[in-house]
Chain A
Amino acid sequence: MSDSNVRKIGSREATWFLVILFVSKILFADINEYINFSGTAAYIQTAWCAFATLVLFVVTSYLSGGDDIFSASYAALGNVGMKSVGILISALLLLDAGVMFRVYADIIASIALPDSSDFFIILLLILAAGVAAFAGVGTLASYAYIAGIVLVSSLALILVLNIPNYTLSNIYPLLGNGGDKILSGIGGINVYADIFLVFLMSVYFKKGESVKKSGVKAIIISGIVITVTTFLYILTVPYPASSGFALPILEIAFDVNLDVIFQRAEGLFLFLWIFSGFILIGAYLSFSVLSFERTFNLSDRRAVIGVFLLIAVCIALCADTSSLKSEVYTAFYKVFTAVAFILPPIVFGIKRLRR
């Protein structure tokens, strides 16, 4: 069964689907990376990265002319080129799913289920990711409309509950580690690396112009959410201590204490974490299967889901020790970002030149 025949999605669903993928990143240590780079001006760097991503995306989507990356790579590079691009994307997404299995399982195990084995938690994640992969990208994106709003609302609730702990003087010096650092912090666009998935989804859209529309909207919404969250984290935890906490949103949640009214918000963070984890891993697995399906023109993508799940779990189990996991995650993330932002414009550009 071809997933592209199952369900079409609108611009709204695609927008929120992408918002979930982007915003989920700040639940990890990505805010810390901004702060390590730009200090108290990290929020300016996040806004700058969102703007740069927007420009890159608009240029890429102009070059794409509404095509998806598979048909464009076939037209630009021939059958071998298309297969190479498809395998590369599929492998990267599968690796990402594996790494995410590990990261999410570890955090869930340490925060919420310390007495449970990692295997049990990974098993639950496998179940959710498997269901998501069977459902397909279209179904997952349709579900994401509500899920995205719930995710952003929950994050907003944590930030609102933390209002008494904001100290405005924490933003000084205004330019943090300097304007040159902010500008050279363009590497922070890795948070938006998943934007290239929109060029894999083209066949799912009801209208061709939705590709560009949903991408632009998603980057703007996520840019605002990530910038505001980073700004409020800086107001909560003074620099340089702010660069030392592994999970910034969890630190904000820890700080919430409205006396007798509301005393603990860690549960909200956990909700965000699990919620985004299921969707993120499900999305990577689904897109990996989709890429494989499109690359080899499979008639039934469901046949490969089991194998893909098994490979993802093996990757998760390989990245078992914390140091290895950290190195693997960092190195992989850099490669993933480079491919996500460089591959699509190259493929679409060559196709336009050959036209």
Chain B
Amino acid sequence: MKKLIFVICICVVMLSGCGGKEIDDMAYVVAIGIDATEGGAYDFTFAIGNPNSINGGGGEDAGGGDSNVLIFETETGESIFSAGDAVSARVGQEINFSHAELLVFSEEVAAGGVDNFIDALTRNLNQRPKLIPAVAVTTAKDTLESINSKFEGNPEKYLKKLFESKDALTLAAIDSRDFLCRTKNPDSGLAVPRMSVGDSITVGAMSVFDGDTLAGAFDDVLSYKLLCGMGEDITYDIENSGSLILNQRVKPTVSVSCYDVPKISITVNLDASVASAKPDVAKEDLYSAAELSLKGRIFDLLMFSSADMGVDVFGFDKYARANFLTWGKWQEYNWREKYKTAQFSLSVKIKPEKTGLITGGA
């Protein structure tokens, strides 16, 4: 009997519900934009899922699911949550961040440091740590308002596809929790998608952060993908020769030797199949040309990160730390400064994806 009462006490807490909140009473934010204002506060734009339009909505008068899938609300404030409260009061629905997928900073905000936003959001228990941070070339508000999911009725799903599918033009390798962890590490930088506005949003570049502050940008997303080990089904054209489909089955092997000048050896292994080739080009030549071309591109990006920006975007510090037994010794080495003079030894190896292909023929 006593055991039974004890178990019942546990169940009373375990079987708690949602605190009387209905889904209809919530406004689910799928993306957040942050712009600076002249007064020093921030303009927070919330892209909220429109329940009447998402996937055709649930009502009889609902549209076809292809228009107004998002409602935009902007509020000036000091923090995301105070702005969210103001919007809640205005629209009569409680703002909920649990389905937020994207966090966009304007360049001005990013240049001033974003740690306070990332920290608050990551620690908020109502927010998943898997938010994708990004930087807007124009304003964050304009960028969010350009989200136009023509073929996808669910805006959250659309954003996932835009950033995380294998066909994405950019690479969201860093989520908000990773971002927070990297900004707490003084030796490491990071790159997040850089969004520009056209007919729709375009995300074909990356912005670089040094700590929590915007430090620069680069366009070569393909090289970044390969260095992150996330190259999948990439169609790669080789000038006047043909094109290959590249797949990266394994992460690049990286080793770092910490001498006065750090030496970083990287091997990128790729599997390739021939998508098209000119009649007079042998497959082996196609692979060699691709290796040479990719090696040049990746090397340029590596040199850009070290010599030009001096920011370890790729997190080579975690490999370098293996050379040291204690944090004291590691900090004495001063990776942040040493990385600026790093020497890279890069190897790109492409091998045929399938063996036994018939060559030549009638």
In whole angstroms, what is the CA distance A255 to B327 when docked? 26
Q: Does A108 lie at the interface of the complex (its beta carbon under 8 Å from any beta carbon of B)?
A: yes
Cβ-defined contact, A237 with B181, below 8 A: yes
> B interface, by DSSP: helix, strand, loop or mixed?
helix
Cβ-defined contact, B16 with A172, below 8 A: no
Q: List, in ascending order, chain A residues with CB within 8 A of B184's CB.
A: 240-241, 244
Q: In chain A, residues 114-150, which have Cβ atoms closer than 8 Å to a Cβ of chain B?
A: 114-116, 121, 124, 127-128, 131-132, 134-135, 139, 143
Cβ-defined contact, B13 with A174, below 8 A: no
Considering only CB atoms, which chain B residue lies closest to A140 in the complex? B6
Q: Does B91 lie at the interface of the complex (its beta carbon under 8 Å from any beta carbon of A)?
A: no
Cβ-defined contact, A135 with B2, below 8 A: yes
Q: List, in ascending order, chain B residues with CB within 8 A of A178's CB.
A: 326-328
Cβ-defined contact, A257 with B130, below 8 A: yes
Q: Which 3 A-B pairs have the closest CB atoms?
A: A241-B181, A172-B321, A128-B9
Q: A21 to chain B: closest CB distance in Å?
A: 17
| Interface 1/0 per residue, B277-291 and A, CB below 8 Å | 000000000000000
Cβ-defined contact, A173 with B319, below 8 A: no
Q: B296 to chain A: closest CB distance in Å?
A: 28
Cβ-defined contact, B6 with A143, below 8 A: yes
Q: Does A160 lie at the interface of the complex (its beta carbon under 8 Å from any beta carbon of B)?
A: no
Which residue of B9, B318, B322, B330 is within 8 Å of A124 (Cβ)? B9
Considering only CB atoms, which chain B residue lies closest to A135 in the complex? B2
Q: List, in ascending order, chain A residues with CB within 8 A of B181's CB.
A: 237-238, 241-242
Question: Known contacts being A237-B181, A274-B14, A278-B9, is A110 close to B125, with CB within 8 Å?
Answer: yes
Question: Known contacts being A112-B13, A124-B12, is A134 close to B2, with CB within 8 Å?
Answer: yes
Cβ-defined contact, A143 with B14, below 8 A: no
Question: Known contacts being A127-B9, A254-B128, is A114 close to B319, with CB within 8 Å?
Answer: no
Q: List, in ascending order, chain A residues with CB within 8 A of B327's CB.
A: 39-40, 173, 176-178
Total CB contacts across the A-B interface at under 8 A: 95
Considering only CB atoms, which chain A residue lies closest to B9 in the complex? A128
Cβ-defined contact, A111 with B10, below 8 A: no
Question: Known contacts being A169-B322, A173-B329, A254-B128, is A131 close to B6, with CB within 8 Å?
Answer: yes
Question: Known contacts being A113-B19, A238-B185, is A173 close to B3, with CB within 8 Å?
Answer: no
In whole angstroms, what is the CA distance A143 to B10 when docked? 14
Known: A135-B6, A274-B10, A274-B13. 15 other contacts (CB 8 A): A111-B125, A115-B20, A121-B13, A124-B13, A127-B5, A131-B9, A134-B2, A135-B3, A169-B319, A172-B321, A176-B327, A177-B327, A237-B181, A238-B318, A257-B130
Interface size on B, residues (CB 8 A): 33
Q: List, in ascending order, chain B residues with CB within 8 A of A172's CB.
A: 318, 321-322, 324
Q: A241 to chain B: closest CB distance in Å?
A: 4
Cβ-defined contact, B130 with A131, below 8 A: no
Which residue of B12, B13, B129, B326 is within 8 Å of A176 (Cβ)? B326
Cβ-defined contact, A241 with B10, below 8 A: no
Which residue of A167, A169, A179, A255 is within 8 Å of B321 (Cβ)? A169
In whole angstroms, what is the CA distance A113 to B330 when docked? 44
Q: B357 to chain A: closest CB distance in Å?
A: 33
Q: List, in ascending order, chain A residues with CB within 8 A of B328's CB.
A: 177-178
Residues in B lying within 8 Å of A, measured CB to CB: 2-3, 5-6, 9-10, 12-14, 16, 19-20, 125, 128-130, 177, 180-182, 184-185, 318-319, 321-322, 324-330
Q: List, in ascending order, chain B residues with CB within 8 A of A108's CB.
A: 13
Q: Which of A124, A170, A173, A240 has the most CB of B within 10 A?
A: A173
Q: B229 to chain A: closest CB distance in Å?
A: 12
Q: Does A275 lie at the interface of the complex (its beta carbon under 8 Å from any beta carbon of B)?
A: yes
Q: List, in ascending order, chain B residues with CB within 8 A of A131's CB.
A: 2, 5-6, 9
Cβ-defined contact, A240 with B125, below 8 A: no
Question: Known contacts being A143-B3, A274-B14, is A255 close to B177, with CB within 8 Å?
Answer: yes
In whole angstroms, what is the CA distance A224 to B325 when docked? 24
Q: List, in ascending order, chain A residues with CB within 8 A of B9's CB.
A: 124, 127-128, 131, 278
Q: Does A175 lie at the interface of the complex (its beta carbon under 8 Å from any beta carbon of B)?
A: yes
Considering only CB atoms, which chain B residue lies closest to A173 in the complex? B324
Q: List, in ascending order, chain A residues with CB within 8 A of B330's CB.
A: 173
Q: Does A62 lie at the interface of the complex (its beta carbon under 8 Å from any beta carbon of B)?
A: no
In whole angstroms, what is the CA distance A274 to B16 when docked? 12
Q: List, in ascending order, chain A residues with CB within 8 A of B326's CB.
A: 173, 175-179
In whole angstroms, what is the CA distance A143 to B2 when docked? 11
Q: List, in ascending order, chain B residues with CB within 8 A of A132's CB.
A: 6
In whole angstroms, what is the CA distance A240 to B321 when docked? 13
Q: A100 to chain B: closest CB distance in Å?
A: 15
Considering only CB atoms, which chain A residue lies closest to B319 in the complex? A169
Q: A24 to chain B: closest CB distance in Å?
A: 14
- Identify 12 residue pairs between A and B in the complex whose beta-carbon atoms are under 8 Å apart, listed by A's number: A110-B125, A111-B125, A131-B9, A139-B3, A143-B3, A167-B318, A173-B321, A173-B329, A177-B327, A178-B326, A178-B328, A240-B185
In whole angstroms, what is the CA distance A348 to B328 when docked? 43
Q: B187 to chain A: closest CB distance in Å?
A: 10
Cβ-defined contact, B3 with A278, below 8 A: no
Q: Does A271 lie at the interface of the complex (its beta carbon under 8 Å from any beta carbon of B)?
A: yes
Q: B112 to chain A: closest CB distance in Å?
A: 21
Q: List, in ascending order, chain A residues with CB within 8 A of B20's CB.
A: 115
Which residue of A169, A173, A254, A274 is within 8 Å of B129 (Cβ)? A254
